[in-house]
Amino acid sequence: MAAPQDSNETSYLFPPNSKDWEEQGIPDFVYGQKELVLEGIQWPRTAPSLLDTTPWSRFDSALCSAWRQRMDLGLFRYRLGELQTQTLPGAVGFVAQLNVERGVQRRRPQNIRSVKQAFDPEQFNFNKVRPGEVLFRLLREPDLPGALQQEDILVMINVSPLEWGHVLLVPEPTRGLPQRLLPGALRAGVEAVLLSSHPGFRVGFNSLGGLASVNHLHLHGYYLAHRLPVEGAPSEPLDPGGRLHLLRALPAPGFLFYTSGPGPDLEALISRVCRATNYLTDHEIAHNLFVTRGAPPGKTSPSSALTGIRVILWARKSSFGVKEGEAFNVALCELAGHLPVKTSQDFGSLTEAAALALIQDCLLPSAQAEEVQAALVALVAQDKQ
């Protein structure tokens, strides 16, 4: 993916001399309602490479120019080149990518024992990152709904990137919040997707036990120039008001929340999603969440237009630690259909059936899944909307 050039965003770049980094303050990226773009962001009808010719938003320009500079300054654990990518043959449309360096060089996950584990300041956390790893502070203007509850969201590089522009959204890191989703963090994630003019900029969340490797509240954001199955997968309503839907399609059944844009509808979605994740956390049920532009609920297709924001939530078996022998680990992007594969051998031999087997092995037993579904439907029924 080509990084945009924008001379107006040089304030997001760091001095080339590392001796000057400590004195460099964190720049603010301030945005308003008019920059949350909902309409007109679609996939090219032909080659994804045509995305490089589309106009970039101010958010994309700031993020990508600063991210690329940090790569040039050597702040990542490895230099991310063009990743070998393939769409696995089959009905699902898995996008597999070979990323050997991430499999080898990423930080070892922390010792997590519970979905509700408390924050431990002695463990690695995002207060300990180097100054150059923070790109900017994401700030909303007071014209946006919920602005009074705005949190200090730092956008920083993921030093072991999955793909181009892989960043972390970290709310008020000095508060020492554990990895439990909060409304302000989810709002920042959804609005980051709306700030990007790239249809493949997605945001996600891994709970503890859902392969979060750091117990300090954060979301992931990254660019992937490929459609994913969850964008247009058909769904069925689980409540009469159409506020909660079920995706039955492969690669994994998930709960779908949808909003057609910023405003009261978005605030209601954030509230519903966080009530659902609170239930899962309180009941020690690991989960993953994925935010993407997508089609409205109902009878859609993989090529449906991106008319709003889909938030997909998966409840899953807890997995503490990393399974070293598997082709990939199952977390937010894998459940959405993006498979970062660790070795060349696995990349060359991976089939749709093998990928589905790995993913389905992480899902809840059917009886527990039905219990969770009933509980989430009951939570939505309490909604006054």
Instruction: Give the neighbor-by-neighbor strand order of the sheet with 95-98.
Output: 85-87, 95-98, 338-341
Residue 218 catalytic? yes
Q: For residue 277, give every residue at least 6 positions away whose Cβ sits within 8 Å of its Cβ, in sequence order, or none.
A: 180, 181, 207, 287, 289, 313
Cα distance between residue 158 and residue 70, in whole Å: 11
75: burial class by Cβ within 10 Å (0-12, 13-18, 19+)? Answer: buried
Cβ atoms of 199 and 305 within 8 Å: the answer is no
Please tell me the total number of residues recorded for the chain in this structure. Answer: 385
The H or E element spanning position 7 is: none
Q: Which two tokens stand for residue 228?
A: 């994913």
Cα distance between residue 219 and residue 214, in whole Å: 11
CA 256 to chain centre: 15
Inter-residue long-range contacts of 114-117, CB under 8 Å, 24+ positions, other chains counted: 114/208, 114/209, 114/284, 115/207, 115/208, 115/209, 115/210, 115/280, 115/281, 115/284, 115/285, 115/286, 115/318, 116/178, 116/180, 116/208, 116/281, 116/282, 116/284, 117/178, 117/208, 117/215
The H or E element spanning position 34 is: none
Cα distance between residue 108 and residue 95, in whole Å: 25
Cα distance between residue 201 and residue 233, in whole Å: 18
E strand residue ranges, 24-166: 28-31, 85-87, 95-98, 134-140, 153-157
Angle between helices 366-381 and 264-282 (to 10 degrees): 140
**Among the options 218, 220, 287, 338, which is catalytic?**
218
Cβ atoms of 350 and 339 within 8 Å: the answer is yes
Cα distance between residue 327 and residue 306, in whole Å: 31
Enumerate the active-site residues.
218
